[in-house]
Structure 1
Amino acid sequence: MSFLLYEVFQADKMWQNLPKLAQQVDKETAQAILQECAKIAEQELDPIARQGDEIGVSYKDGVVTTAPGYKKAFQTYVDGGWTALGGDVNYGGMGMPKMLTGLHEEMLCSADISFALYPVLTAGAALSLAKHGDEALKQRYLTRMYSGEWSASMCLTEAHSGSDLGIIRTKAIPQEDGTYNVSGTKIFITGGEHDLTENIVHLVLAKLPDAPAGPRGISLFLVPKFQVNDDETLGEFNNVSCGSIEHKMGIHASATCVMNFDDSKGYLIGELNKGLACMFTMMNFERIGVGIQGLGAAVRSYQNALEYAKDRLQGRALDSKQNGVKNPSQEADSIMVHGDVRRMLLNMKALNEGSRALSSYISMQLDYATYGEGDEQVKGETLAALMTPVAKAFFTDLGFENTVAGQQVFGGHGFIREWGQEQLVRDARITQIYEGTNGIQAMDLLVRKIATSNGAMLKVFTDEVNTYINENKDNDVMAEFIAPLGDAVNDLTHLTTDLLAKSQTNINELGASANDYLHVFGYTAMAYIWARMAQVSLSKKDNNGESGDDFYQSKLHTARYFYTRILPRRLSLIASAKSGCDCLFDIDDELF
């Protein structure tokens, strides 16, 4: 993490060059934060994660109780000020940049995704409230959310309305005092009810009776579990109840609730009928956060699998007859001698480190969008919007792939509960589904971002990469990375042009190729970041052309592995994307 922050992205210099950040964070502060976060993850969260999965949350008569140890761990987390880490400084937040809070989230998710969901959902809701809420709401609710006294949830989905939010049925009836009576039922609500905080603030999408049809009629309301009195004490119960909890494949210690609102008093956030835009502030934050969840599970999987592979003795190396037995004092070699085990581990290593680096790059764009000015801010906003669906879908697809790979390294031991690998597989699976399925993210990238801008948004990214390529085209030491990176960017550009042209006569071409396209984009973007990491590592080289330090040697070898064994994945994806949509739509539904 320090390598990325200070050597690859030079975040400490960036922070000092942004006036809105310069007074809040420096390298020393950032390092202290990450060190303390590591302690929380290791000492408080890791010990409760296993029993959290096995016992889970419980429900009785509308009351949800978290797993043993969660309430104590959450209070420790609150006492450390972590709930304020990325918050608005005007309301008690610490105002730390996303580059830092993103790494913080990864640590939490590696330790326990279920625990991480409670504060991360609250942070996302706080972001939406801070940007769109009026001053009275921010003073009353935002300060308590940052202090950790209150938590929050995001209430979008209904039984008949998942991705199509335009058909929600939850109603908001205007009242004479300017409030609204909100009634309806929401499902799949993470942290909708629990015993960690004394009040829960729900951000609820609803429609007024005379609202326009579809998504243009959605408004956003703040609906607390308990009303707040004028003296800031908690008041009456606000008719917000949990009807049941979901029994899930994974994240058992996260309360996933069916929430009922029965003439519950709500407060408008933003403007009427523009609630979806307000909620997207939170949703985009959460989508990047979900990508980090996938990464966190994958990192834990790699750590587990590597330790196991070094200790597990099975068989002899294939070359033992030619080169002698590698471990003559034992009856077998460790499974590290087997090519396929090394393949799985290096895949995990390259994809995890690439995902962390690309996540940090996207976080940097968010920081420019939030704290920058002028062209710098505009570019940050564009790149952050472009790459949000990539962060969510690409990182979670790779995260699930890597949890399964870790399980495979364990063999039969990966399938039983004792080693913890099967929990990572189960927990990671939801990350590909919630906050907009990965197929929807692919459509968001190709249709809403690329096609709608006629490729202009993509050009902002490819221009940056091509500038980097041109700056290093005469650097012989970097040739092994620059040449294939140039090929990848050119292929991405040509694929984009081809798909946009085809879509002019058949719009289904975009839907048919969107998933392939997102992954081509992801591998290409990751190649750019791996080149930058390799360049830093090469700068530390000794007289033999390799790094003189184990860390940089490892980084350089992993970069080469990514370029040699993983980047070529994009070629088959490009062929698939270009194959057209006829093979999908020519078959009648009855023939499936």
Structure 2
Amino acid sequence: MAHYPPSSADHRFLLFDVLDAGTALQALPALREADADLLTQVLEEAAKFVAEVVSPLQATGDAPGCRLEDGRVLTPPGFAEAYRAFWQAGWPSLACAPEDGGQGLPWVLEGVLYEMLTGANHGWTMAPGLLHGAYECVKHHGSPELKARYLPRIASGEWLATMCLTEAHAGSDLGQVRTQAVPQADGSHRITGTKIFISGGEHDLTDNIVHLVLAREPGAPPGPKGLSLFLAPKVLPEGVPLPPPPGEGRGGGTSTHNFITCERIEEKMGLHGSPTCVLRFDGATGWRIGEPGRGLNAMFVMMNAARLHVALQGIGLLDAAWQKAHAYARERTQMRAPGALRGEGAADPIVRHPAIQRILQTERAWVDGLRVLAYRTGLELDIARHHPDVQRRASAQQWCSLVTPVLKALCTEQGFGGASRLLQVFGGHGYVKEWGIEQIVRDARITMIYEGTNEIQAIDLLLRKVLPDGGAALAELLHALEADLRDDEDVQARFAALREVTRTLAAESAHAPTLPYEAADDYLRSVGLALFAWAWRRIESAPGAASARWREAAAAARLRILPEFELRLQILRTQCEAAAAAQAAPVD
């Protein structure tokens, strides 16, 4: 199978039959016109665009990759044309506000679009992947002047954006950022420093690139509280003077190109179609976004949107790997399947072999359950923004706060691990480039690292979201889900066990400060599996779920995935017991 056709029928079933998205969105005045018919039409057109325009560039973009020539990055053949068609067709502006030139459609619709795009071509999709986060950041924290100048073109996708956080000495520890921003008399700042791992830091897809840069103003306190956020465009607006940058031999001038240089493109394991750049800011002109010293607050608006996008990347990549493996298994014949009534020497398609069925059914069950959780989170994001009731907005925001780190970690681990298992369906053929599955495995690995490593997601969940209130917010979320599936003893038992282990962790962590750090990964996995069980019960209770397609996936979820929940709980209980024993042990 050369190209990726998005799973449109599955998207519609999970959104409208399982989650009843149409009813949920109709309750939001700002989205009342976004009924199921309109959303279905948009999804169908999106699937068509993805399959016909973006998917064919997957392999051709991986082979040559990007190249740096005279400070300019050239993307693979066809990428620039496809991106031009993408933004001119209005796809980046789906969920942006009409007053900014957007279409005012639900965020959940944009989420499904980006899942499709990633499944079709992860490298290409990296370019527009940060647009919505940049839009939200500038919209909520930018000055009126910056909004007027940049917001419409970010919303439309005419100009792409980057997120410039990381420095060579400061990975996840942003408090160590050294990039400087010196204020000028005209209200601008001159930014000096070097940023690494900048996706799309330089390219030929758009005429301008809007860089959002974390930097430190003179006299700012050390650590994260001293960081501010700045907007530094690749191309300056007309009429903005270009001051001479520091250093000999370089004077000021009238060129509109800012003093931002791409030093190199990183040679990566995957994502060869996406230029990951080292950017040097040599006194580049920029403007502060938001208040001094509150750059992380402004940036996290962008980060949270990006993390949900990354979760959807994991789902899209897993679905693409499943589709390739399933198509191959239907065509490849090897030996007789166990129990087959065939003549001696006959061969069956390997899709009939139990070992292959196990892989395919299990990974399909993961795709289905994770989609329900991700789409529900997208709906909650829309509710948090638009619901008329303040308490309902607050509960939706609580859902997003708790579930986003779980999804980012769970979906990306499964995206990579599941794609690797699906490569097994191909045998040795999967390890060579011909079939395309090895590219998905390579591309998927980064999702577990960027936008906050999965270990950081686990720490964020347990230490920042659960333990401070003793698990009360999580218990409230679980109670709401129990009410959603009345009298479901299986889900209730899992939730009760999760509440119990949360209480135990909270109690033992009070005198064992390293315990939550040691337990965080297993705890996140436990929460994810409990939510995954709820998601599958919702699927099974929906009209239309009685077909063989959904019954087989449900059985795989029940028999091969959910038993891990007990394993994770036992690990957590053992860790708590060890911490208690250490506390009770006499001191020599």
Q: Find the counterpart in structure 1 of residue 118 from structure 2.
A: 109
Code of the aligned partner of 2:414: L
2:217 corresponds to: 208
| CA apart distance, 1:235 | 6.2
**Counterpart for residue 534 of structure 1:** 540
Amino acid at match of 2:570: A
On the 8 A contact 2:361/2:552 being kept in 1, the answer is no
Q: Distance in 1 between matches of 2:397 and 2:28?
A: 15
Letter aligned with residue 363 of structure 2: M
Which residues in structure 2 correspond to 1:392-431 (within 5 Å)?
A: 392-431=408-447
Whole-Å Cα distance in 2 between the matches of residues 306 and 513 of structure 1?
36
Query: Does 2:533 align with 1:524?
Result: no
Task: Choose the corresponding residue for 1:514, options 520, 525, 550.
Answer: 520
Per-residue deviation, residues 197-241 of structure 1 (Å, max 9, x unmatched)? 00000000011121122111111111101111259xx96111011
Contact kept in structure 2, 1:485 and 1:527, CA below 8 Å? yes
Q: Partners of 1:235 and 1:523 in 2: how far apart?
A: 55
Aligned to 1:340: 355
Distance 1:7 1:217 in 2: 48
Is 1:310 aligned to 2:326, yes or no?
no
Tell me, yes or no, if structure 1 residue 243 matches structure 2 residue 296.
no
CA distance, structure 2, for counterparts of residue 330 and residue 109 of structure 1? 42
Aligned residue for 1:441, secondary structure, equals: helix
Q: Does 1:184 align with 2:193?
A: yes
* Structure 1 Cα separation of the partners of residues 138 and 291 of structure 2: 12
Q: Does 1:557 align with 2:552?
A: yes
Output the amino acid matched with 1:374. Answer: V
The question of whether the paired residues in 1 share the 8 Å contact of 2:482 and 2:491 is answered with no
User: Which residue of structure 2 aligns with residue 51 of structure 1?
Assistant: 60
- Equivalent residue letter for 2:568: L
CA contact (8 A) 1:229 1:235 kept: no
TM-score (norm. length: structure 1): 0.91
Q: CA deviation at 1:453?
A: 2.7
Contact 2:181–2:190 (Cα < 8 Å) also in 1? yes
- Does residue 379 of the first structure (1) align with residue 385 of the second (2)? no
Distance 1:16 1:144 in 2: 29
1:521-551 residue CA offsets vs partner (Å, 9 max, x unmatched): 11110111111111014xx58xxxxx3xxxx
Structure 1 residues 98 and 235, CA, compared in 2 at 3 Å: closer, same or farther? Answer: farther
Q: CA deviation at 1:329?
A: 10
Question: Does the alignment pair 1:457 with 2:473?
Answer: yes
Aligned amino acid, residue 296 of structure 1: G
Q: Partner amino acid for 1:260?
A: R
| Cα drift, residue 45 of structure 1 | 1.1
- The correspondence for 2:496, drawn from 490, 496, 508, is 490
Aligned to 1:297: 317
Q: Would the aligned equivalents of 2:372 and 2:535 in 1 still touch at CA under 8 Å?
A: yes
Out of 431, 434, 449, the position equivalent to 2:450 is 434
Q: CA deviation at 1:130?
A: 1.1
Cα separation, 2, equivalents of 1:95 and 1:86: 5
| Distance in 2 of aligned mates of 1:415 and 1:8 | 37
Which residue, 445, 453, 456 being the options, matches 2:461? 445
Residue deviations 1:494-546 (CA, integer Å, cap 9, x gap)? 11111111100111110111111111111110111111111014xx58xxxxx
2:50 pairs with one of 29, 34, 41: 41
CA distance in 2, matches of 1:117, 1:158: 20
Q: Which of residues 54, 69, 73 is equivalent to 1:60?
A: 69
Aligned to 1:18: 28
Counterpart AA for 1:342:
Q
Q: Tell me, which stretches of 5 or more residues in structure 1 are unaligned?
A: 474-481, 542-546, 587-592
Q: CA–CA distance in 2 between the matches of 1:553 and 1:314?
A: 25
The answer to whether the Cα contact below 8 Å between 1:228 and 1:235 also exists between their aligned partners in 2 is no
Structure 2 CA distance for aligned equivalents of residues 64 and 564 of structure 1 = 49
SS at match of 1:87: coil
Query: Is residue 145 of structure 2 the alignment partner of residue 136 of structure 1?
Result: yes
For 1:63 and 1:125, how far apart are their aligned partners in 2? 23
| Contact persistence 2:94–2:104 (CA under 8 A) | yes
Offset of 1:275 from its aligned partner?
Answer: 0.8
Q: How far does residue 339 in structure 1 lie from its aligned partner after superposition?
A: 1.6
Distance 2:439 2:283 in 1: 39
Give yes or no for contact 2:406–2:524 (8 Å, CA) kept in 1: yes
Give 1:195's match in structure 2, choosing from 200, 204, 208: 204
Paired residue secondary structure (2:187): coil
Question: Residue 263 of structure 1 is aligned with which of 283, 286, 307?
Answer: 283
Query: Is the CA contact 1:181–1:265 (under 8 Å) kept in the aligned structure 2?
Result: yes
Partner of 1:349: 364
Deviates more, 1:420-429 or 1:98-107: 98-107
CA drift of 1:468 comes to: 2.7
CA shift, 1:330, in A, is 7.8
Partners of 2:362 and 2:553 within 8 A in 1: no
Letter in 1 for 2:518: A
Q: Distance in 1 between matches of 2:104 and 2:296?
A: 25
Structure 1 partner of 2:585: none
Distance 1:560 1:486, change over 3 A: farther
Structure number with greater CO (CA < 8 Å, separation at least 6) is 2
Deviations 1:45-88 (A, max 9, x none): 11111010111000122110000110111111112111211212
**Post-superposition shift, 1:580?**
1.9
What is the CA–CA distance in structure 2 between the aligned matches of 1:230 and 1:19, rounded to whole Å? 42
Q: Are the equivalent residues in 2 in contact too, given 1:347–1:566 (CA < 8 A)?
A: yes
1:566 aligns with 2:561: yes
Tell me the distance in 2 between the aligned counterparts of 1:457 and 1:101. Answer: 28
Report the equivalent of 2:243. none
Give the whole-Å Cα distance in 2 for the aligned partners of 1:139 and 1:13.
Answer: 35
Unaligned 5+ segments in structure 2 are 1-10, 241-253, 583-588
1: CA distance between counterparts of 2:559 and 2:404?
Answer: 27
Q: Secondary structure at the match of 2:575?
A: coil
TM-score, normalised to structure 2's length? 0.92
Aligned length: 555
3-state SS of paired residue (2:167):
coil
Secondary structure at 1:401's aligned position in 2?
helix
Cα distance change of structure 1 residues 330 and 80 upon mapping to structure 2, 3 Å threshold: farther
Correspondent of 2:507 among 501, 505, 520: 501
